[in-house]
Amino acid sequence: MPSLKNTITHKHNMNYKKPLNVLLLEAAETGETSLKRTLSSFNLVALGIGAIIGAGLFSLTGLAAANNAGPAVTISFMIGAVGCAFAGLCYAEFASMIPIAGSAYTYSYATMGEFMAWIIGWDLVLEYALGAATVSISWSQYLTKFLHYFNITIPPQLTMSPWESATLADGTIISGYGNLPAVFIIVCLSLLLIRGMQESAFINNLLVILKVAVVLIFIAVGWQFINPANHIPYIPENIGETKMMNGEISFWAYFGSDSFGKFGWSGILRGAGVVFFAFIGFDAVSTAAQEAKNPKKGMPIGIIGSLVICTILYILFSHVMTGVANYKEFANSAAPVAVAIAKTPYTWLQQAIIVAILAGYTSVMLVMLMGQSRVFFTMAKDGLLPKVFSHVHPKFKTPYKSNLLFAVFVSLFAAFVPVNIVGEMVSIGTLFAFILVCVGILVMRKTNPETPRPFKAPWVPFTPIAGIVVCLAMMLSLPGDTWLRLAIWMILGVIIYYFYGSKHSVVRKNHALQKQ
Protein backbone atom coordinates (compact mmCIF):
# COMPACT_ATOMS: atom_id res chain seq x y z
CA MET A 1 0.00 0.00 0.00
CA PRO A 2 1.48 3.40 -0.93
CA SER A 3 2.20 5.75 1.93
CA LEU A 4 -0.13 8.67 2.61
CA LYS A 5 2.85 10.99 2.63
CA ASN A 6 3.80 10.25 -0.97
CA THR A 7 0.30 10.53 -2.36
CA ILE A 8 -0.63 13.91 -0.94
CA THR A 9 -0.35 16.57 -3.60
CA HIS A 10 -0.55 20.31 -3.85
CA LYS A 11 -2.89 21.87 -6.38
CA HIS A 12 -4.59 24.97 -7.60
CA ASN A 13 -2.43 27.94 -6.63
CA MET A 14 -1.48 27.06 -3.09
CA ASN A 15 -4.93 25.66 -2.31
CA TYR A 16 -3.92 22.53 -0.43
CA LYS A 17 -6.36 19.71 -1.08
CA LYS A 18 -6.48 16.17 0.21
CA PRO A 19 -6.90 13.89 -2.83
CA LEU A 20 -9.59 11.24 -2.82
CA ASN A 21 -7.07 8.38 -3.01
CA VAL A 22 -5.46 9.61 0.23
CA LEU A 23 -8.82 9.72 1.99
CA LEU A 24 -9.64 6.19 0.84
CA LEU A 25 -6.27 4.98 2.17
CA GLU A 26 -7.08 6.56 5.53
CA ALA A 27 -10.50 4.89 5.53
CA ALA A 28 -8.83 1.50 5.06
CA GLU A 29 -6.33 2.01 7.89
CA THR A 30 -6.35 -0.42 10.81
CA GLY A 31 -4.34 -0.58 14.00
CA GLU A 32 -3.82 1.41 17.16
CA THR A 33 -4.66 4.78 15.61
CA SER A 34 -7.92 3.69 13.95
CA LEU A 35 -11.48 3.52 15.25
CA LYS A 36 -13.33 0.23 15.71
CA ARG A 37 -16.00 -0.76 13.14
CA THR A 38 -19.04 -1.94 15.11
CA LEU A 39 -22.14 -0.14 13.73
CA SER A 40 -24.80 -1.84 11.56
CA SER A 41 -27.26 -0.05 9.23
CA PHE A 42 -29.91 -0.28 11.97
CA ASN A 43 -27.49 1.33 14.45
CA LEU A 44 -26.86 4.16 11.97
CA VAL A 45 -30.59 4.83 11.42
CA ALA A 46 -31.06 4.78 15.20
CA LEU A 47 -28.13 7.21 15.58
CA GLY A 48 -29.83 9.56 13.11
CA ILE A 49 -33.20 9.36 14.87
CA GLY A 50 -31.43 9.66 18.20
CA ALA A 51 -29.84 12.93 17.12
CA ILE A 52 -32.89 14.36 15.35
CA ILE A 53 -35.87 13.83 17.68
CA GLY A 54 -35.35 15.97 20.73
CA ALA A 55 -35.43 19.64 21.64
CA GLY A 56 -36.90 20.79 18.35
CA LEU A 57 -39.96 18.56 18.41
CA PHE A 58 -40.93 18.96 22.05
CA SER A 59 -40.00 22.62 22.64
CA LEU A 60 -39.62 24.56 19.40
CA THR A 61 -42.81 23.30 17.71
CA GLY A 62 -45.00 25.23 20.15
CA LEU A 63 -42.81 28.36 20.02
CA ALA A 64 -42.75 28.43 16.21
CA ALA A 65 -46.53 27.96 16.08
CA ALA A 66 -47.23 30.69 18.66
CA ASN A 67 -44.80 33.31 17.35
CA ASN A 68 -44.32 32.62 13.63
CA ALA A 69 -46.46 30.18 11.69
CA GLY A 70 -49.63 29.28 13.65
CA PRO A 71 -51.11 25.88 12.62
CA ALA A 72 -49.05 26.15 9.42
CA VAL A 73 -46.00 25.13 11.46
CA THR A 74 -46.59 21.81 9.66
CA ILE A 75 -45.62 23.62 6.42
CA SER A 76 -42.57 25.03 8.23
CA PHE A 77 -41.54 21.46 9.01
CA MET A 78 -42.05 20.49 5.36
CA ILE A 79 -39.82 23.37 4.16
CA GLY A 80 -37.17 22.42 6.72
CA ALA A 81 -37.40 18.80 5.58
CA VAL A 82 -37.00 19.77 1.91
CA GLY A 83 -33.82 21.72 2.69
CA CYS A 84 -32.56 18.78 4.73
CA ALA A 85 -33.51 16.28 2.01
CA PHE A 86 -31.40 18.05 -0.63
CA ALA A 87 -28.48 18.37 1.78
CA GLY A 88 -29.04 14.80 3.03
CA LEU A 89 -28.75 13.35 -0.48
CA CYS A 90 -25.45 15.23 -0.92
CA TYR A 91 -24.21 13.99 2.48
CA ALA A 92 -25.17 10.42 1.54
CA GLU A 93 -23.15 10.55 -1.70
CA PHE A 94 -20.09 11.90 0.09
CA ALA A 95 -20.40 9.48 3.02
CA SER A 96 -20.56 6.47 0.68
CA MET A 97 -17.58 7.75 -1.35
CA ILE A 98 -15.41 8.90 1.56
CA PRO A 99 -16.20 6.82 4.69
CA ILE A 100 -14.08 8.97 7.03
CA ALA A 101 -15.05 10.25 10.48
CA GLY A 102 -14.70 13.95 9.61
CA SER A 103 -18.09 14.43 7.90
CA ALA A 104 -18.42 17.75 6.01
CA TYR A 105 -14.91 18.76 7.10
CA THR A 106 -13.38 15.84 5.21
CA TYR A 107 -15.56 16.39 2.14
CA SER A 108 -14.52 20.05 1.99
CA TYR A 109 -10.82 19.09 2.28
CA ALA A 110 -11.18 16.95 -0.84
CA THR A 111 -13.17 19.46 -2.88
CA MET A 112 -12.43 23.02 -1.79
CA GLY A 113 -9.07 22.80 -0.07
CA GLU A 114 -7.61 23.11 3.40
CA PHE A 115 -8.81 26.60 4.32
CA MET A 116 -12.46 25.82 3.52
CA ALA A 117 -12.06 22.49 5.30
CA TRP A 118 -10.90 24.36 8.39
CA ILE A 119 -13.85 26.77 8.13
CA ILE A 120 -16.36 23.92 7.95
CA GLY A 121 -14.59 21.96 10.71
CA TRP A 122 -14.67 25.02 12.96
CA ASP A 123 -18.33 25.46 12.02
CA LEU A 124 -19.04 21.85 13.03
CA VAL A 125 -17.49 22.60 16.43
CA LEU A 126 -20.17 25.26 16.74
CA GLU A 127 -22.95 22.93 15.56
CA TYR A 128 -22.24 19.85 17.65
CA ALA A 129 -20.74 21.34 20.82
CA LEU A 130 -23.30 24.12 21.19
CA GLY A 131 -26.07 21.77 20.04
CA ALA A 132 -25.25 19.43 22.92
CA ALA A 133 -25.11 22.42 25.30
CA THR A 134 -28.53 23.66 24.13
CA VAL A 135 -30.16 20.29 24.63
CA SER A 136 -28.54 19.76 28.04
CA ILE A 137 -30.10 23.02 29.26
CA SER A 138 -33.57 21.84 28.19
CA TRP A 139 -32.86 18.40 29.65
CA SER A 140 -32.17 20.07 32.99
CA GLN A 141 -35.51 21.91 32.89
CA TYR A 142 -37.48 18.74 32.16
CA LEU A 143 -35.57 16.74 34.78
CA THR A 144 -36.67 19.32 37.35
CA LYS A 145 -40.31 18.88 36.25
CA PHE A 146 -40.02 15.08 36.36
CA LEU A 147 -38.51 15.03 39.86
CA HIS A 148 -41.25 17.41 41.03
CA TYR A 149 -43.78 14.56 40.59
CA PHE A 150 -41.84 12.69 43.27
CA ASN A 151 -41.61 15.73 45.56
CA ILE A 152 -37.89 16.11 44.85
CA THR A 153 -36.86 19.73 44.37
CA ILE A 154 -33.63 21.01 42.90
CA PRO A 155 -32.90 24.60 44.02
CA PRO A 156 -33.66 26.86 41.01
CA GLN A 157 -30.30 28.62 41.45
CA LEU A 158 -28.64 25.35 40.40
CA THR A 159 -30.65 25.02 37.15
CA MET A 160 -30.02 28.48 35.64
CA SER A 161 -27.09 30.40 34.20
CA PRO A 162 -25.83 33.43 36.17
CA TRP A 163 -27.35 35.65 33.42
CA GLU A 164 -30.85 34.36 34.14
CA SER A 165 -33.22 35.12 37.00
CA ALA A 166 -36.51 33.74 38.32
CA THR A 167 -39.29 34.98 40.59
CA LEU A 168 -40.26 32.65 43.45
CA ALA A 169 -43.82 32.21 44.76
CA ASP A 170 -43.20 34.75 47.52
CA GLY A 171 -42.05 37.38 45.02
CA THR A 172 -38.32 36.99 45.70
CA ILE A 173 -36.13 37.38 42.60
CA ILE A 174 -33.17 35.01 42.46
CA SER A 175 -30.27 34.60 40.01
CA GLY A 176 -28.69 31.36 38.90
CA TYR A 177 -25.32 30.00 40.01
CA GLY A 178 -24.91 27.58 37.10
CA ASN A 179 -26.87 24.74 35.52
CA LEU A 180 -25.53 21.71 37.43
CA PRO A 181 -27.92 19.01 36.05
CA ALA A 182 -26.83 20.04 32.52
CA VAL A 183 -23.18 19.62 33.50
CA PHE A 184 -23.94 16.25 35.09
CA ILE A 185 -25.54 14.73 31.97
CA ILE A 186 -22.80 16.05 29.65
CA VAL A 187 -20.06 14.50 31.81
CA CYS A 188 -21.91 11.16 32.12
CA LEU A 189 -22.46 10.85 28.35
CA SER A 190 -18.85 11.82 27.60
CA LEU A 191 -17.65 9.02 29.89
CA LEU A 192 -20.04 6.57 28.14
CA LEU A 193 -18.60 7.56 24.75
CA ILE A 194 -15.08 6.99 26.05
CA ARG A 195 -16.15 3.51 27.18
CA GLY A 196 -16.94 2.45 23.61
CA MET A 197 -19.06 3.05 20.51
CA GLN A 198 -20.85 -0.32 20.72
CA GLU A 199 -22.02 0.37 24.28
CA SER A 200 -23.04 3.91 23.33
CA ALA A 201 -25.03 2.64 20.31
CA PHE A 202 -26.85 0.08 22.50
CA ILE A 203 -27.94 2.78 24.99
CA ASN A 204 -28.94 5.03 22.09
CA ASN A 205 -31.10 2.28 20.54
CA LEU A 206 -33.03 1.86 23.82
CA LEU A 207 -33.56 5.62 24.12
CA VAL A 208 -34.76 5.88 20.51
CA ILE A 209 -37.29 3.06 20.92
CA LEU A 210 -38.64 4.71 24.08
CA LYS A 211 -39.07 8.21 22.68
CA VAL A 212 -40.51 7.11 19.31
CA ALA A 213 -43.05 4.95 21.17
CA VAL A 214 -44.22 7.90 23.26
CA VAL A 215 -44.39 10.20 20.20
CA LEU A 216 -46.60 7.62 18.44
CA ILE A 217 -48.82 7.34 21.53
CA PHE A 218 -49.22 11.15 21.64
CA ILE A 219 -50.18 11.22 17.94
CA ALA A 220 -52.66 8.33 18.30
CA VAL A 221 -54.30 9.68 21.48
CA GLY A 222 -54.26 13.34 20.48
CA TRP A 223 -55.79 12.69 17.04
CA GLN A 224 -59.09 11.84 18.74
CA PHE A 225 -59.26 15.28 20.38
CA ILE A 226 -58.37 17.52 17.43
CA ASN A 227 -60.71 20.53 17.26
CA PRO A 228 -60.93 21.64 13.59
CA ALA A 229 -61.58 25.23 14.75
CA ASN A 230 -57.98 25.38 16.05
CA HIS A 231 -56.72 24.98 12.49
CA ILE A 232 -58.69 28.02 11.24
CA PRO A 233 -57.11 30.12 9.84
CA TYR A 234 -54.42 27.63 8.91
CA ILE A 235 -52.08 30.48 7.91
CA PRO A 236 -52.77 33.43 10.26
CA GLU A 237 -52.78 36.81 8.49
CA ASN A 238 -49.72 39.04 8.48
CA ILE A 239 -50.89 42.66 8.06
CA GLY A 240 -47.60 43.77 6.53
CA GLU A 241 -47.69 40.90 4.04
CA THR A 242 -51.27 41.79 3.08
CA LYS A 243 -50.26 45.42 2.48
CA MET A 244 -47.34 44.30 0.32
CA MET A 245 -49.60 41.99 -1.73
CA ASN A 246 -52.02 44.90 -2.25
CA GLY A 247 -49.19 47.15 -3.44
CA GLU A 248 -49.44 49.51 -0.46
CA ILE A 249 -45.80 48.95 0.59
CA SER A 250 -42.72 47.53 -1.16
CA PHE A 251 -41.22 44.12 -0.44
CA TRP A 252 -38.12 45.70 1.09
CA ALA A 253 -40.21 47.89 3.37
CA TYR A 254 -42.06 44.76 4.49
CA PHE A 255 -38.82 42.76 4.83
CA GLY A 256 -37.37 45.41 7.14
CA SER A 257 -40.50 45.79 9.25
CA ASP A 258 -41.28 44.20 12.60
CA SER A 259 -44.14 42.22 11.08
CA PHE A 260 -41.85 40.17 8.81
CA GLY A 261 -41.66 36.64 10.16
CA LYS A 262 -44.76 36.97 12.34
CA PHE A 263 -47.37 34.81 10.61
CA GLY A 264 -48.27 34.75 6.93
CA TRP A 265 -45.82 33.11 4.53
CA SER A 266 -42.85 35.00 5.97
CA GLY A 267 -43.82 33.53 9.35
CA ILE A 268 -43.87 30.05 7.83
CA LEU A 269 -40.38 30.62 6.43
CA ARG A 270 -39.05 31.99 9.70
CA GLY A 271 -40.79 29.11 11.48
CA ALA A 272 -38.84 26.77 9.17
CA GLY A 273 -35.62 28.47 10.28
CA VAL A 274 -36.64 28.00 13.93
CA VAL A 275 -37.82 24.36 13.72
CA PHE A 276 -34.85 23.55 11.50
CA PHE A 277 -33.07 22.91 14.80
CA ALA A 278 -35.39 19.89 15.07
CA PHE A 279 -33.76 18.32 11.99
CA ILE A 280 -30.18 18.82 13.08
CA GLY A 281 -28.54 15.48 13.64
CA PHE A 282 -28.88 13.39 10.50
CA ASP A 283 -25.53 14.78 9.37
CA ALA A 284 -23.98 13.43 12.58
CA VAL A 285 -24.48 9.93 11.13
CA SER A 286 -21.71 10.73 8.64
CA THR A 287 -19.25 11.35 11.48
CA ALA A 288 -19.57 7.66 12.42
CA ALA A 289 -18.46 6.48 8.94
CA GLN A 290 -15.18 5.04 10.23
CA GLU A 291 -17.08 2.97 12.81
CA ALA A 292 -19.67 1.53 10.39
CA LYS A 293 -19.33 -2.14 9.41
CA ASN A 294 -20.30 -1.40 5.78
CA PRO A 295 -20.17 2.39 5.33
CA LYS A 296 -20.81 2.38 1.57
CA LYS A 297 -24.21 0.79 2.14
CA GLY A 298 -24.95 1.86 5.72
CA MET A 299 -24.23 5.59 5.41
CA PRO A 300 -26.95 6.41 2.83
CA ILE A 301 -29.44 4.18 4.70
CA GLY A 302 -28.64 5.85 8.02
CA ILE A 303 -28.80 9.43 6.70
CA ILE A 304 -31.86 9.21 4.41
CA GLY A 305 -33.73 6.64 6.51
CA SER A 306 -33.56 8.63 9.73
CA LEU A 307 -34.52 11.85 7.93
CA VAL A 308 -37.62 10.31 6.29
CA ILE A 309 -38.86 8.69 9.51
CA CYS A 310 -38.43 11.87 11.55
CA THR A 311 -40.07 14.12 8.94
CA ILE A 312 -43.24 11.99 8.94
CA LEU A 313 -43.36 11.98 12.75
CA TYR A 314 -42.78 15.77 12.91
CA ILE A 315 -45.60 16.65 10.53
CA LEU A 316 -48.09 14.35 12.31
CA PHE A 317 -46.97 15.55 15.75
CA SER A 318 -47.28 19.27 14.93
CA HIS A 319 -50.67 18.74 13.22
CA VAL A 320 -52.05 17.02 16.34
CA MET A 321 -50.47 19.52 18.73
CA THR A 322 -51.96 22.61 17.01
CA GLY A 323 -55.29 20.80 16.58
CA VAL A 324 -55.72 19.81 20.22
CA ALA A 325 -54.82 23.31 21.56
CA ASN A 326 -54.96 26.73 19.91
CA TYR A 327 -51.52 27.88 18.76
CA LYS A 328 -51.83 31.12 20.81
CA GLU A 329 -51.82 29.06 24.01
CA PHE A 330 -48.23 27.94 23.35
CA ALA A 331 -46.83 31.47 23.71
CA ASN A 332 -44.37 31.80 26.60
CA SER A 333 -44.83 28.14 27.55
CA ALA A 334 -41.70 26.24 28.56
CA ALA A 335 -43.54 22.94 27.98
CA PRO A 336 -45.95 23.45 25.03
CA VAL A 337 -46.64 19.72 24.72
CA ALA A 338 -48.06 19.75 28.27
CA VAL A 339 -50.51 22.48 27.18
CA ALA A 340 -51.85 20.19 24.46
CA ILE A 341 -52.02 17.14 26.73
CA ALA A 342 -54.01 19.13 29.32
CA LYS A 343 -56.80 19.37 26.70
CA THR A 344 -57.24 15.59 26.77
CA PRO A 345 -58.43 13.34 29.64
CA TYR A 346 -55.12 11.45 29.47
CA THR A 347 -53.12 13.67 31.82
CA TRP A 348 -50.90 10.70 32.71
CA LEU A 349 -49.39 11.25 29.29
CA GLN A 350 -47.62 14.31 30.70
CA GLN A 351 -45.29 12.13 32.75
CA ALA A 352 -44.80 9.76 29.79
CA ILE A 353 -44.00 12.69 27.51
CA ILE A 354 -41.46 14.04 30.01
CA VAL A 355 -39.79 10.61 30.14
CA ALA A 356 -39.70 10.58 26.32
CA ILE A 357 -38.29 14.11 26.28
CA LEU A 358 -35.55 13.15 28.73
CA ALA A 359 -34.76 10.06 26.63
CA GLY A 360 -34.88 12.14 23.46
CA TYR A 361 -32.60 14.82 24.78
CA THR A 362 -30.18 12.25 26.14
CA SER A 363 -29.79 10.48 22.78
CA VAL A 364 -29.41 13.84 20.99
CA MET A 365 -26.58 14.84 23.32
CA LEU A 366 -24.96 11.43 22.95
CA VAL A 367 -24.83 11.67 19.14
CA MET A 368 -23.80 15.34 19.13
CA LEU A 369 -20.90 14.67 21.52
CA MET A 370 -19.93 11.62 19.47
CA GLY A 371 -19.96 13.64 16.23
CA GLN A 372 -17.95 16.47 17.71
CA SER A 373 -15.19 14.24 19.05
CA ARG A 374 -14.92 12.45 15.68
CA VAL A 375 -14.55 15.70 13.74
CA PHE A 376 -11.92 16.91 16.23
CA PHE A 377 -10.17 13.53 15.97
CA THR A 378 -9.92 13.85 12.18
CA MET A 379 -8.79 17.49 12.24
CA ALA A 380 -6.10 16.62 14.79
CA LYS A 381 -4.85 13.74 12.60
CA ASP A 382 -4.47 16.28 9.79
CA GLY A 383 -2.38 18.51 12.07
CA LEU A 384 -4.85 21.42 12.07
CA LEU A 385 -5.43 20.89 15.80
CA PRO A 386 -3.01 19.58 18.46
CA LYS A 387 -2.06 15.93 17.88
CA VAL A 388 -3.14 15.03 21.42
CA PHE A 389 -6.77 15.00 20.23
CA SER A 390 -6.04 12.29 17.66
CA HIS A 391 -5.00 9.79 20.33
CA VAL A 392 -7.14 6.64 20.47
CA HIS A 393 -7.72 4.84 23.76
CA PRO A 394 -5.58 1.65 23.74
CA LYS A 395 -8.42 -0.51 25.09
CA PHE A 396 -11.69 1.16 24.05
CA LYS A 397 -10.53 2.43 20.61
CA THR A 398 -12.24 5.80 21.08
CA PRO A 399 -10.83 9.37 20.74
CA TYR A 400 -11.00 9.78 24.50
CA LYS A 401 -8.99 12.99 24.79
CA SER A 402 -11.38 14.77 22.42
CA ASN A 403 -14.27 13.43 24.52
CA LEU A 404 -12.66 14.78 27.71
CA LEU A 405 -12.04 18.20 26.14
CA PHE A 406 -15.67 18.57 25.09
CA ALA A 407 -16.93 17.26 28.42
CA VAL A 408 -15.35 20.41 29.88
CA PHE A 409 -16.07 22.83 27.00
CA VAL A 410 -19.74 21.89 26.54
CA SER A 411 -20.31 21.77 30.31
CA LEU A 412 -19.15 25.38 30.65
CA PHE A 413 -21.56 26.52 27.93
CA ALA A 414 -24.39 24.47 29.44
CA ALA A 415 -23.78 25.89 32.91
CA PHE A 416 -23.35 29.56 32.07
CA VAL A 417 -24.95 30.52 28.69
CA PRO A 418 -28.71 31.18 28.17
CA VAL A 419 -30.43 28.63 25.92
CA ASN A 420 -31.94 30.93 23.24
CA ILE A 421 -28.55 32.38 22.23
CA VAL A 422 -26.98 28.93 21.90
CA GLY A 423 -29.90 27.45 19.92
CA GLU A 424 -29.89 30.11 17.18
CA MET A 425 -26.11 29.79 16.76
CA VAL A 426 -26.50 26.05 16.23
CA SER A 427 -29.13 26.54 13.51
CA ILE A 428 -27.11 29.05 11.48
CA GLY A 429 -23.92 26.99 11.85
CA THR A 430 -25.65 23.85 10.61
CA LEU A 431 -27.25 25.58 7.61
CA PHE A 432 -23.81 26.93 6.67
CA ALA A 433 -22.36 23.40 6.83
CA PHE A 434 -25.18 22.04 4.63
CA ILE A 435 -24.55 24.73 1.99
CA LEU A 436 -20.84 23.85 1.80
CA VAL A 437 -21.61 20.13 1.43
CA CYS A 438 -23.98 20.90 -1.46
CA VAL A 439 -21.27 23.05 -3.09
CA GLY A 440 -18.82 20.18 -2.55
CA ILE A 441 -20.98 17.77 -4.56
CA LEU A 442 -21.01 20.19 -7.52
CA VAL A 443 -17.21 20.48 -7.32
CA MET A 444 -16.62 16.72 -6.92
CA ARG A 445 -18.87 15.81 -9.87
CA LYS A 446 -16.75 18.13 -12.04
CA THR A 447 -13.27 17.27 -10.71
CA ASN A 448 -13.72 13.52 -10.01
CA PRO A 449 -16.47 12.35 -12.39
CA GLU A 450 -15.08 8.80 -12.73
CA THR A 451 -14.75 8.04 -9.01
CA PRO A 452 -17.00 5.12 -7.91
CA ARG A 453 -20.06 6.35 -6.05
CA PRO A 454 -21.90 3.55 -4.17
CA PHE A 455 -24.72 6.08 -3.70
CA LYS A 456 -25.32 8.89 -6.21
CA ALA A 457 -27.43 11.92 -5.31
CA PRO A 458 -30.19 12.17 -7.95
CA TRP A 459 -30.92 15.15 -10.20
CA VAL A 460 -27.50 16.80 -9.98
CA PRO A 461 -26.99 19.76 -10.37
CA PHE A 462 -30.61 20.53 -9.35
CA THR A 463 -30.38 18.76 -5.97
CA PRO A 464 -27.30 20.56 -4.57
CA ILE A 465 -28.37 23.93 -6.03
CA ALA A 466 -31.83 23.55 -4.48
CA GLY A 467 -30.20 22.60 -1.17
CA ILE A 468 -28.08 25.77 -1.30
CA VAL A 469 -31.08 28.00 -2.10
CA VAL A 470 -33.41 26.58 0.58
CA CYS A 471 -30.75 26.55 3.30
CA LEU A 472 -29.64 30.08 2.42
CA ALA A 473 -33.27 31.28 2.59
CA MET A 474 -33.59 29.82 6.10
CA MET A 475 -30.28 31.42 7.12
CA LEU A 476 -31.50 34.82 5.91
CA SER A 477 -34.68 34.43 7.97
CA LEU A 478 -32.70 34.21 11.24
CA PRO A 479 -32.13 37.35 13.37
CA GLY A 480 -29.22 39.69 12.57
CA ASP A 481 -27.47 39.24 15.91
CA THR A 482 -27.19 35.51 15.15
CA TRP A 483 -25.23 36.40 11.99
CA LEU A 484 -22.99 38.65 14.06
CA ARG A 485 -22.17 35.83 16.50
CA LEU A 486 -21.43 33.49 13.56
CA ALA A 487 -19.07 36.10 12.09
CA ILE A 488 -17.24 36.52 15.42
CA TRP A 489 -16.92 32.72 15.79
CA MET A 490 -15.55 32.39 12.24
CA ILE A 491 -13.06 35.24 12.72
CA LEU A 492 -11.78 33.50 15.85
CA GLY A 493 -11.44 30.28 13.81
CA VAL A 494 -9.46 32.03 11.04
CA ILE A 495 -7.06 33.45 13.66
CA ILE A 496 -6.47 29.98 15.15
CA TYR A 497 -5.96 28.50 11.67
CA TYR A 498 -3.46 31.21 10.73
CA PHE A 499 -1.37 30.93 13.90
CA TYR A 500 -1.61 27.15 14.46
CA GLY A 501 -3.36 25.05 11.81
CA SER A 502 -1.54 26.32 8.71
CA LYS A 503 1.84 25.87 10.46
CA HIS A 504 1.19 22.28 11.59
CA SER A 505 -0.78 20.97 8.60
CA VAL A 506 0.31 17.44 7.63
CA VAL A 507 -0.63 18.11 3.99
CA ARG A 508 1.52 21.25 3.87
CA LYS A 509 4.48 19.57 5.59
CA ASN A 510 4.40 16.60 3.21
CA HIS A 511 4.17 18.90 0.23
CA ALA A 512 7.22 20.81 1.47
CA LEU A 513 9.14 17.52 1.83
CA GLN A 514 8.23 16.54 -1.73
CA LYS A 515 9.61 19.82 -3.07
CA GLN A 516 12.99 19.29 -1.37
pLDDT one-digit tens code per residue, 267-310: 898 888 778 777 777 777 777 777 778 777 777 888 888 888 98
Output the pTM of the full model: 0.76
Task: Report whether pLDDT(369) > 60.
Answer: yes
pLDDT tens-place string over residues 162-179:
777 776 777 777 777 888
Torsions phi, psi of 167, nearest 5? -105, 120
Task: Report whether pLDDT(9) > 60.
Answer: no
SS3 of residue 166 by DSSP: strand
The answer to whether 501 and 109 have CB atoms below 8 angstroms apart is no
**Domain spanning 4-515: which superfamily?**
Amino acid/polyamine transporter I (1.20.1740.10)
Identity at 198, one-letter amino acid code = Q
Task: Indicate the pLDDT class of residue 6, thresholds 50, 70 and 90.
Answer: very low
Query: Cα 136–327–216 angle (5° rounding)?
Result: 60
Task: Indicate the pLDDT class of residue 31, thresholds 50, 70 and 90.
Answer: low
The answer to whether 110 and 21 have CB atoms below 8 angstroms apart is no
The answer to whether 176 and 134 have CB atoms below 8 angstroms apart is no
Identity at 173, one-letter amino acid code = I
Q: Where are the domains of the chain?
A: 4-515
What is the mean predicted confidence (pLDDT) over 255-260? Answer: 76
By the 10 Å C-beta count (0-12 exposed, 13-18 middle, 19+ buried), 501 is classed as buried
The neighbouring-strand residues paired with 175 are: 165
What is the mean predicted confidence (pLDDT) over 189-206? Answer: 83
Chain centroid to CA 205: 18
pLDDT tens-place string over residues 336-349:
777 888 888 887 77
pLDDT value for 417: 72
Q: How far is CA 453 from CA 23, 385, 449, 458, 484, in A?
A: 14, 30, 9, 12, 38
CA distance 344 to 376: 47
CB-facing half-sphere around the CA of 393: CA atoms within 13 A = 18
pLDDT value for 68: 85
What DSSP element (H or E) covers 80? helix 73-97
Find the range with the poorest average confidence among 140-144, 437-441, 477-481.
477-481
Task: Report whether pLDDT(504) > 80.
Answer: yes
Q: In this prediction, what percent of the chain has a pLDDT beyond 90?
A: 12
Q: Is 263 left (phi over 0), alpha (psi -120 to 50) or beta?
A: left
Give helix 180-195 / helix 400-416 axis angle, nearest 10°: 170
